[in-house]
Amino acid sequence: MKTLRFSFAACLLALAVGLGGSAVATAQRLSLTQQFAGSTVLLTSGDTLQGPLALHRTEDVILITLPDNTVSTLSAVAVQSFAVKGQKDDRRNGYDDFYDSRSGYYYGNPYYSAPPRERRERVDTSLVRVFRTFRWNHDNDYSDFKSPGFFEQLSGGPNILLRRESLVQRTASYNDPLYRGGYGGYGNPYGGPRQMGSYNEIKDVFYLGMPSGNVLPLRNPKKDLLAIYRQQAKQIEQYAKGNKLSFTDARELAFIVNYANSLQKEAK
């Protein structure tokens, strides 16, 4: 199994900011692995396991180191859910995780009058992240075949904002600000010729997990979310605009989904 640590993408954040929307993704999708110092895994059998965990996102496989130092390899079909904390990967590599304590959105308490606080500079290693297994069609709308996959839970319910992440390789064009000098040697600070280059970027794909167990893709998060919450769409738009929340930012979208859920509850 091929794995790539985040050190492989050491200039990810600077590149992602500098490139903006002008970068073009290549066809190559890379394997993404994240490692955590601690975890609790609930198996479909009802048993639980604890220990350091490696999450192979692309393959939907986890490797957990047990107290006797043996390693158990588990696919999504054997796992109901798991919680992890103490991520070992260096956030300076540009991985955009939740630097908030989750007190405002994960436990279902949406902001009504204030936006979520800004991200911290350093990762909170005590932060607990929850992953659940859902059966899905791997974004193939023309297939009825569904298999289990790991989705990170980003909001409360009953409709749950979910996320899958993947590592993709992108190629930058000559017109990108990246090549105007100063970014990791790609640009020429002395005004000489600029060279093409590639970089790795973590891609977020959002879904909505329904109480029925179905997973709805949010390919255009704003459009799709407002269509799902049709009766509350106007209030949701006003809430997002008033609090300057983006429908494409994972952390801010979680606030929006929690707020949408609260409106549905009030309507009942």
Residue 261 in domain: no
Classify residue 59: in a domain, yes or no: yes
Tell me, yes or no, whether 103 lies in a domain: yes
The total of structural domains in the chain comes to 1
What is the 3 state secondary structure string of the chain? CCCCCHHHHCCHHHHHHHHHHHCEEEEEEECCEEEEEEEEEEECCCCEEECCEEEECCCCEEEEECCCCCEEEEEHHHEEEEEEEEECCCHHHCCCCCCCCCCCCCCCCCCCCCCCCCCCCCCCCCCCEEEEEEEECCCCCCCCCCEEEEEEECCCCCCEEEEEEEEEEEEECCCCHHHHCCCCCCCCCCCCCCCCEEEEEEEEEEEEECCCCCEEECCCHHHHHHHHCHHHHHHHHHHHHHCCCCCCCHHHHHHHHHHHHHHHHHHC
Q: What is the pLDDT of residue 166?
A: 84
The pLDDT value recorded for residue 172 is 66
Q: Is residue 19 part of a domain?
A: yes
Residue 11 falls inside a structural domain? yes
Render each residue's pLDDT in the chain as its tens digit; 268 residues.
Answer: 333 333 333 333 333 333 333 334 333 567 889 999 999 999 999 999 999 999 999 899 999 999 999 999 999 999 999 999 998 854 433 334 433 333 334 433 443 334 444 444 345 567 899 999 999 998 888 888 999 999 999 999 999 999 999 888 777 665 555 444 444 444 454 444 454 567 777 889 999 999 999 999 999 999 999 999 999 999 999 999 999 999 999 999 999 999 999 998 877 6
Instruction: Give the per-residue pLDDT at 229.
Output: 96
pLDDT at 170: 74
**Residue 170 in domain:** yes
The answer to the question of residue 186 being in a domain is no
Domain hosting residue 205, numbered range: 6-174+196-219
**Domain assignment present for 57:** yes
